[in-house]
Chain A
Amino acid sequence: GAVVSQHPSRVICKSGTSVKIECRSLDFQATTMFWYRQFPKQSLMLMATSNEGSKATYEQGVEKDKFLINHASLTLSTLTVTSAHPEDSSFYICSARERTANQPQHFGDGTRLSIL
């Protein structure tokens, strides 16, 4: 089945650091990728939709200057958490969808971000 690879799986860094997370679709082309965030004991919350070659669409309440998204190719999207603070600590999950309509989204294994 379709595979989405997310890297790194875990990051621990100091407050004020910027952190980049990569999301790759390994065996299919994804014109659209999605970034989610999940806090402990909560469900996944969609942060933004990333379209190849264009600007990302952010959900209400998500700061676009804080969470920079780049979708430069059909197989790679990156999320950069800029000047991260402890409240940005969370589980970040990317997802990609195959180009064929009605196909399911496939998810990466997530990145556990801990800001000290």
Chain B
Amino acid sequence: DAKTTQPPSMDCAEGRAANLPCNHSTISGNEYVYWYRQIHSQGPQYIIHGLKNNETNEMASLIITEDRKSSTLILPHATLRDTAVYYCIVKAGGYQKVTFGIGTKLQVIP
């Protein structure tokens, strides 16, 4: 699986959009970008995933650059409950396992 690079921490004001970047410059053509988050003392929560096109669901939007070497997870209106560690994971489709890096610790500030 391709390696990802994320900033270790970020702050965001409550109500503002949180934009979490992820670099995956070695991504292969068949690898998807997945985003999960882990709120303190809970299991990870799936947020969104994509291959080439931008994706949006009720939780977030995923913007993938045209060359697919980086992506951004957007939480449109961050709330205090969005404070968590966010993991960007790149893996091939099919049935491969999810392995976690360090992630980005997002702190939403009142």
Residues of A bordering B, CB below 8 Å: 1, 4, 6, 32, 34, 36, 43-46, 49, 91, 93, 95, 97, 101-102, 104-110, 112
Known: A34-B98, A43-B103. A107 touches B93 (CB 8 A): no
* Interfacial chain B residues near A108, Cβ < 8 Å: 43
Question: Which residue of B43, B87, B95, B102 contacts A97 across the interface (Cβ within 8 Å)?
Answer: B95
Within the complex, the shortest CB–CB distance from A58 to chain B, in Å, comes to 12
How far is A107 from B34 in the complex, measured between Cα atoms in Å?
A: 14
How far is A91 from B103 in the complex, measured between Cα atoms in Å?
A: 18
How far is A102 from B103 in the complex, measured between Cα atoms in Å?
A: 21
Which among B32, B41, B44, B46 has the highest number of chain A CB atoms within 10 Å? B44
B44 touches A93 (CB 8 A): yes
**Could you name 26 residue pairs across A and B whose Cβ atoms are closer than 8 Å?**
A1-B46, A34-B97, A34-B98, A43-B101, A43-B102, A43-B103, A44-B38, A44-B100, A45-B100, A46-B97, A46-B99, A49-B97, A93-B43, A95-B43, A97-B95, A101-B93, A101-B94, A101-B95, A102-B32, A102-B93, A104-B36, A104-B46, A105-B46, A105-B97, A106-B46, A107-B46
Total residue contacts A-B, CB cutoff 8 A: 54
B97 touches A110 (CB 8 A): no
Q: How many residues of B contact A (CB 8 A)?
A: 22
Within the complex, the shortest CB–CB distance from B104 to chain A, in Å, comes to 12
* Interfacial chain B residues near A107, Cβ < 8 Å: 36, 43-46
Residues of B bordering A, CB below 8 Å: 32, 34, 36, 38, 41-46, 49, 87, 93-95, 97-103
B100 touches A43 (CB 8 A): yes
Known: A43-B100, A46-B99, A112-B41. A102 touches B46 (CB 8 A): no
* Interfacial chain B residues near A45, Cβ < 8 Å: 100
How far is A64 from B95 in the complex, measured between Cα atoms in Å?
A: 22
Chain B residue nearest to A51 in the complex (CB): B95
Within the complex, the shortest CB–CB distance from B98 to chain A, in Å, comes to 5
* Interfacial chain B residues near A44, Cβ < 8 Å: 38, 44, 100
